[in-house]
Structure 1
Amino acid sequence: MTDSASSPQLITWQTLGRAALQALLDEAGAPLHLEDCDLEGGDFSRLDLRGCHFTRCAIMEASFAGAALGDTHWISCRGRQADFKAADVTDSVFEKCDLNNTNWRRAKLGASSFTHCKLTGAHLEDAATLGLTFADTLLIGAFLQGMSFRKCLLQGLDFSDADLVGADFREAVFIGGSLRNANLQDCRFDGTDLREVDLGGLKLIDARPFRGATISSAQAAMLLHELGLTVLD
């Protein structure tokens, strides 16, 4: 039996449903490393998958609702419309994954990270996100109401058309990325550095949440242009 502190047991090129995956877990007695496996459409809700690794796996429309997914690693997985509702995904890593239109409502995402991922249309309402980080990730049209990005370094995040109502960006620093046409109602930007982010589509009348933020002269000119004013040097 594999010791739980050792590397996860490698399983490759298998199509796995709930029963088959549970049997592999029971046999190994330790986390698994699933590589190039097909879990599409499977029901894995409430399973204990802590410490497992998923590399280039197909998890489209699979359900991990209520599952124990702490300390998992997901690399280059295809997970369109997968369901992580109410799952415990604490301390997990997602890299280069397609997670468009996924459901993370009420999930525990503390200290997890998403890097080079696609989360277009993802739902993260009421998720526990303390210490959650994103980098170079698409969050276009995502539902992120009330999330805190306070004091975060936000690198290459595309929030275009996202629902950010009530989000906290105080003292955050944007490096590239976009807030184009995002819903910024009741957001807080006190002390935020917005000089490198795309603010296209923003109207000056909508700029009140940006009170206390730092913007560039080009961004200021763009906002004034919305009022029909021209800024001359």
Structure 2
Amino acid sequence: MSQPTITLTGETIGRGRIERLLAEQALLAFEDCDFQQADLSRLNLQDCSFSNCAVAEASFYAANLARTRWRRCRGGHADFEASDLVDARFESCDLNNASWRRAKLASCSYRGCKLTGASFEEAGQLGLSFENCLLIGADLRRMSFRKATLKVLDFSDADLAGCDFRDVVFESGSLRDAHIKDTRFDHADLREADLGGLKLSNAKQFAGATISPRQAAELVRALGLNVA
């Protein structure tokens, strides 16, 4: 027997209200609701949906958010640390400076999202995907994108130290001024990526990678050489 769905629209919702709703053992759908600065830590919100909701500075610390759906939500500085977001979907959300530290992000997807300044430190990432996202200044250290096709991702100024971009294909996007200490780009196709400002300290990072003549000139200039 399927669970009933309770839809809430245009409400300001705190922890107590959600706990009462969850006690009814129904799926919850939130539309145009305000959760700003709410403490929703450790709650079981599995399979819930959020549409046009404000979640800025809300805490979802260690919450169960598996299979949740998020559309056009605004969540600057939201805290998703240690939460379970397996199979979650984020579409057209503004989640700047949100924390995903130690979150379970297996098979989670972000489409058309603003993730400027977001932190993904130590996040579980098997099957994690991004498409048409702003990751400017984000902390993505040691994340693996190996063999992925990356569509319109802006990694400008992002911390990509220790990331694995081997065999990746960039379809547009930017790596401008990204931090790439110990980052691997072996056999990556970088021809459509903006490589401006990259500080190439070790050519082995790009062994077998494909770049355009224009990009090659930019990288040579970054080494302080003149292209005649």
Q: What does residue 122 of structure 1 align with?
A: 118
CA distance in 2, matches of 1:204, 1:189: 12
CA distance in 1, matches of 2:124, 2:94: 21
Q: What does residue 163 of structure 1 align with?
A: 159
Q: 1:165 to 1:204 in 2, by over 3 A?
A: closer
Offset at residue 152 of structure 1 (A): 0.8
Matched, 1:230 2:227: yes
CA distance in 2, matches of 1:166, 1:213: 17
CA distance in 1, matches of 2:29, 2:7: 5
Question: 2:18 is matched with which residue: 21, 24, 32?
Answer: 21
Q: What does residue 83 of structure 2 align with?
A: 87
In structure 1, give the amino acid aligned to 2:74: R
**Contact 2:103-2:124 within 8 A present in 1 as well:** yes
CA distance in 1, matches of 2:188, 2:216: 15
Q: 1:102 to 1:204 in 2, by over 3 A?
A: closer
Q: Give the aligned length.
A: 227
SS in 2 for 1:74: strand
- The aligned runs of 1:25-174 (5 Å cut-off) are 25-27=22-24, 29-174=25-170
Which stretch shifts more, 185-194 or 66-75?
Answer: 185-194
User: Any unmatched runs of 5+ in structure 1?
Assistant: none
Q: 1:206 to 1:161 in 2, by over 3 A?
A: farther
Detail structure 1 runs of 4+ shifted over 6 Å in the superposition. none
Q: What does residue 196 of structure 1 align with?
A: 192
Which stretch shifts more, 8-17 or 140-149?
Answer: 8-17
In structure 1, give the amino acid aligned to 2:20: A
SS in 2 for 1:221: helix
CA distance in 1, matches of 2:30, 2:202: 47
Offset at residue 22 of structure 1 (A): 1.3
User: Any unmatched runs of 5+ in structure 2?
Assistant: none
CA distance in 2, matches of 1:105, 1:130: 15
TM-score norm. by structure 1 comes to 0.93
Offset at residue 18 of structure 1 (A): 0.2
Which stretch shifts more, 185-194 or 196-205?
Answer: 196-205
**Contact 2:137-2:155 within 8 A present in 1 as well:** yes
Question: 1:9 is matched with which residue: 6, 10, 17?
Answer: 6
**Contact 1:110-1:130 within 8 A present in 2 as well:** yes
**Contact 1:3-1:30 within 8 A present in 2 as well:** no
In structure 2, give the amino acid aligned to 1:3: S
Provide Cα deviations, 1:77-116, integer angstroms capped at 9, x if missing partner.
Answer: 0000000000000000000101001111100000010011
Q: What does residue 183 of structure 1 align with?
A: 179
Provide Cα deviations, 1:177-198, integer angstroms capped at 9, x if missing partner.
Answer: 0000100010111111100000
In structure 1, give the amino acid aligned to 2:98: T
CA distance in 1, matches of 2:60, 2:203: 39
Structure 1 vs Structure 2 CA RMSD: 1.4
Q: What does residue 215 of structure 2 align with?
A: 219
Offset at residue 206 of structure 1 (A): 5.3
SS in 2 for 1:24: helix
**Contact 2:177-2:199 within 8 A present in 1 as well:** no
Which stretch shifts more, 206-215 or 146-155?
Answer: 206-215
SS in 1 for 2:46: coil
